[in-house]
């Protein structure tokens, strides 16, 4: 480009604007300096595009230098440039400068007001945003959407929904609405529900959107797929994939990534690979999702193959890639490969290991029984170990029965944030594994005294598009009587096949139930029982659990898969377990 004989200012301006949209970011910088060499000054339109691009790339210093340029060229009071700069400062995190831009505006229009509302929402200044919104002389759809987003980000879904209901733009069911119209408002609300983990409401809002004849878009599908991924709702996810095909929506890298993530998190790794292979354009997110998906589904070697392929295609791995790769190595027991990638990530790929990468390595070494090496890494890591790191080490101590080391780890966990419920769970499980019930009780009492709550065990299973949730010990499910009878029958069969309850892990989930009964009532077991009794023979059962599966349920589920001739797929907090013919894909290594 540099040698092109361009000297007509408008051509330079167009070339710069084109490169901002299509070319990689450095291309623009080269082109821009070429323009200055030709003594051509950017037009205000070019400057506006540049500012927008700086905002999108988070290029704070470059953007500021263009602010000076705008000032020098006398465009200081151009309302569009001012709005662009206000948005830029908001997006690079400089709220003070954003406020200053807004204050300096002599005339404001609805777009400028919206930009300020959006900046204030992103910086958590809700009341200020709302005040500005209430006093705006004009509002458009974007104004309402910015406020809805603001409340969703705060987790105030009630206020978000009130805004959604009050939004007059949404209620207009017109020809326009049938074509594309107000889908952004609906998408905002759906994604808000997903962010606030109200997945059922997200799906219900989608149904309502269809009834109102507002056309769902690719963005709608991305939010819904994210909901399915969280819930492990494969049937719903497959329905959405089918809907995307029927409506001929465009599967680009972003929607493709949402599909890969949904299939991976629903345990259907073959379908995830299929979507991945068919994608014409893949970005780093797609590669990261498939590598992580293969890893959590127990295909560590395949994750490594994909990583090699990613490099061959000329992509640069980032921190997320290595989390997927290292945890994949950990789940498949690939110690030497994990060690190699950990040392190469900085030296060869220029990615500095963060705490989550150290966490993966400590997990990998600890599970493999290399406790000394794991401890050494904890000591030498450049940051303060967090509860996840100590938790991994404690889990390794449990597996390899190293009580001495456990004491040290427990002390460190205690010294960490005393308000973090997760630390108490680690401790309680640790004492329970040693049958030291007095300490378990002390631990529980301290939790109650300090008002710390442990997340209760909860498992879900999707049947005919409905997600059924089960909480250990106190389910409100309509068919709980029948389920309990069936659980008793399962318990009998387990006994016949030599399964003995491991009382040590009872307290993993609940505290009040009588211990023997309690284990067989762990939430994943209730969900599996419900799945067995409600689906035809041979149908695969898929369960999602919010915590890790305990070893007692793990061995019980292996037997159940054999006795009832069913494939059972359980997604726990860490990984997938594919139970089939009495075995689990994790090879009892998790």
Partner DNA sequence: TTAGGGTTAG
The Cα 329–Cα 265 span in angstroms is 18
Neighbouring residues of 360: CB distance < 8 A, sequence distance ≥ 6: 322, 323, 326, 327, 329, 330, 338, 342
Binding to DNA by residue 284, rule CB under 7 A? no
Q: Are strands 541-545 and 458-463 parallel, antiparallel or unpaired?
A: antiparallel
Residues numbered 84 to 143 that lie near DNA (CB under 7 A) are 84, 87, 109-112, 114-115, 118, 140-143
Binding to DNA by residue 523, rule CB under 7 A? no
Specify whether the CB–CB gap between 220 and 186 falls below 8 A: yes
Among 6, 20, 81, 272, binds DNA (CB under 7 A): 81
Binding to DNA by residue 532, rule CB under 7 A? no
Residues in the interface with DNA (CB under 7 A) total 50
Binding to DNA by residue 231, rule CB under 7 A? no
- Phi/psi for 459 (5° steps) reads -125, 150
CB atoms within 10 A of CB 580: 16
Nearest residue (CB) to DNA, 261 versus 469: 261
The Cα 126–Cα 280 span in angstroms is 41
285 exposure class (CB count in 10 Å sphere: 0-12, 13-18, 19+) = middle
Nearest residue (CB) to DNA, 218 versus 356: 218
Nearest residue (CB) to DNA, 187 versus 523: 187
Binding to DNA by residue 14, rule CB under 7 A? yes
Alpha-carbon dihedral sign for residues 129, 134, 136, 142: positive
Site string for DNA, 308-347 (x = CB under 7 A): ----------------------------------------
Binding to DNA by residue 49, rule CB under 7 A? yes
Closest CA to 226 of 186, 266, 253: 266
The tokens for 543 are 């369960």
The tokens for 407 are 């004491």
For the chain, how many residues are written? 590
The Cα 465–Cα 234 span in angstroms is 9
Nearest residue (CB) to DNA, 203 versus 368: 203
Site string for DNA, 200-219 (x = CB under 7 A): -----------------xxx
Task: Supply the minimum distance, in Å, between the C-beta of residue 44 and DNA.
Answer: 4
Among 6, 13, 130, 370, binds DNA (CB under 7 A): 13
Binding to DNA by residue 52, rule CB under 7 A? yes
- 541-545: strand order across its sheet: 466-471, 458-463, 541-545, 568-571, 576-580, 583-584
Nearest residue (CB) to DNA, 167 versus 501: 167
With b for 16 or more beta-carbon neighbours within 10 A and e for fewer, the 425-442 pattern comes to bbbbbbbbbeeeeebbee
Task: Supply the minimum distance, in Å, between the C-beta of residue 171 and DNA.
Answer: 15
Binding to DNA by residue 433, rule CB under 7 A? no
Q: Which stretch binds DNA (CB under 7 A): 26-34, 73-81, 442-450, 493-501?
A: 73-81
Chain centre to alpha carbon of residue 21: 28
Among 19, 145, 289, 520, binds DNA (CB under 7 A): 145
Task: Supply the minimum distance, in Å, between the C-beta of residue 223 and DNA.
Answer: 5
414 exposure class (CB count in 10 Å sphere: 0-12, 13-18, 19+) = middle
Q: Which stretch binds DNA (CB under 7 A): 47-55, 264-272, 347-355, 529-537?
A: 47-55
Site string for DNA, 180-199 (x = CB under 7 A): ---xxx-xx--x---x----
Task: Supply the minimum distance, in Å, between the C-beta of residue 272 and DNA.
Answer: 17
Binding to DNA by residue 304, rule CB under 7 A? no
Neighbouring residues of 384: CB distance < 8 A, sequence distance ≥ 6: none
Site string for DNA, 451-490 (x = CB under 7 A): ----------------------------------------
Where does this chain bind DNA (CB under 7 A)?
A: 10, 13-14, 43-45, 47-49, 52, 55, 75, 78-81, 83-84, 87, 109-112, 114-115, 118, 140-143, 145-146, 149, 183-185, 187-188, 191, 195, 217-219, 222-223, 226, 252, 254-255, 258
């Amino acid at each position: 480009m540099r040698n092109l004989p361009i000297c007509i200012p408008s051509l330079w301006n167009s070339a710069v604007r084109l490169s901002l949209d299509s070319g990689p970011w450095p291309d623009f910088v080269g082109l821009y300096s070429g323009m200055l060499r030709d003594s051509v000054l950017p037009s205000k339109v070019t400057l506006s595009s540049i500012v927008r691009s700086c905002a999108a790339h988070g290029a704070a210093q470059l953007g500021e230098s263009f602010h000076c340029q705008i000032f020098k060229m006398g465009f200081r009071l151009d309302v569009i440039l001012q709005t662009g700069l206000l948005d830029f400062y908001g997006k690079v995190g400089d709220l003070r400068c954003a406020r200053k831009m807004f204050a300096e505006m002599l005339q404001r229009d609805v777009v400028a007001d919206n930009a300020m509302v959006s900046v204030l929402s992103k910086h958590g200044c809700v009341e200020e945003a709302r005040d500005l919104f209430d006093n705006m002389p004009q509002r458009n759809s974007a104004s309402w959407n910015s406020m809805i987003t603001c409340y969703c980000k705060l987790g105030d879904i009630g206020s978000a929904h009130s805004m959604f209901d009050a939004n007059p733009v949404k209620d207009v069911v017109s020809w326009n609405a049938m074509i594309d119209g107000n889908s952004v408002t609906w998408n905002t609300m759906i994604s808000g529900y997903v962010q606030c983990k109200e997945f059922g409401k997200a799906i219900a809002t989608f149904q309502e959107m269809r009834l109102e004849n507002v056309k769902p878009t690719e963005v709608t599908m991305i939010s819904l797929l994210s909901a399915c991924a969280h819930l492990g709702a494969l049937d719903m996810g497959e329905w959405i994939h089918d809907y995307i095909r029927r409506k001929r929506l465009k599967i680009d890298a972003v929607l493709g990534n949402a599909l890969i993530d949904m299939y991976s998190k629903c345990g259907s790794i073959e379908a995830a690979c299929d979507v991945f292979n068919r994608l014409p354009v893949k970005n780093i997110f797609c590669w990261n999702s498939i590598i992580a998906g293969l890893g959590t589904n127990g295909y560590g070697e395949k994750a490594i193959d994909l990583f090699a392929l990613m490099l061959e295609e000329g992509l640069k791995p980032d921190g997320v890639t290595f989390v997927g790769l290292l945890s994949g190595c950990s789940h498949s027991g690939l110690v030497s490969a994990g060690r190699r990638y950990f040392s190469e990530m900085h030296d060869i790929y220029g990615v500095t290991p963060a705490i989550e990468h150290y966490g993966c390595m400590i997990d990998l070494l600890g599970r493999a029984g290399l406790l000394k090496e794991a401890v050494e890494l904890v000591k030498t890591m450049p940051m303060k170990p967090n509860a996840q790191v100590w938790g991994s080490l404690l889990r390794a101590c449990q597996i390899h029965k190293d009580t001495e080391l456990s004491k040290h780890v427990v002390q460190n966990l205690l010294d960490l944030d005393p308000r973090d419920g997760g630390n108490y769970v680690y401790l309680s499980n640790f004492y329970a594994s040693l049958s030291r019930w007095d300490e378990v009780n002390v631990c529980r009492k301290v939790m109650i005294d300090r008002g710390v709550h442990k997340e209760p065990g909860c498992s879900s299973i999707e049947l005919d598009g409905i997600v059924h949730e089960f909480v250990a010990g106190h389910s409100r499910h309509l068919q709980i009587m029948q389920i309990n009878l069936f659980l008793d029958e399962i318990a009998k069969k387990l006994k016949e096949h030599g399964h003995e309850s491991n009382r040590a892990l009872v307290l993993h989930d609940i505290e009040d139930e009588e211990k023997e009964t309690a284990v067989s009532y762990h939430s994943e077991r209730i969900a599996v029982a419900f799945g067995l009794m409600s689906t035809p023979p041979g149908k695969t059962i898929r369960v999602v659990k919010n915590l890790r599966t305990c070893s007692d349920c793990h061995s019980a589920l292996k037997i159940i898969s054999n006795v009832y001739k069913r494939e059972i797929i359980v997604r726990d907090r860490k990984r997938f377990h594919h139970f089939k013919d009495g075995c689990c894909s994790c090879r009892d290594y998790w």
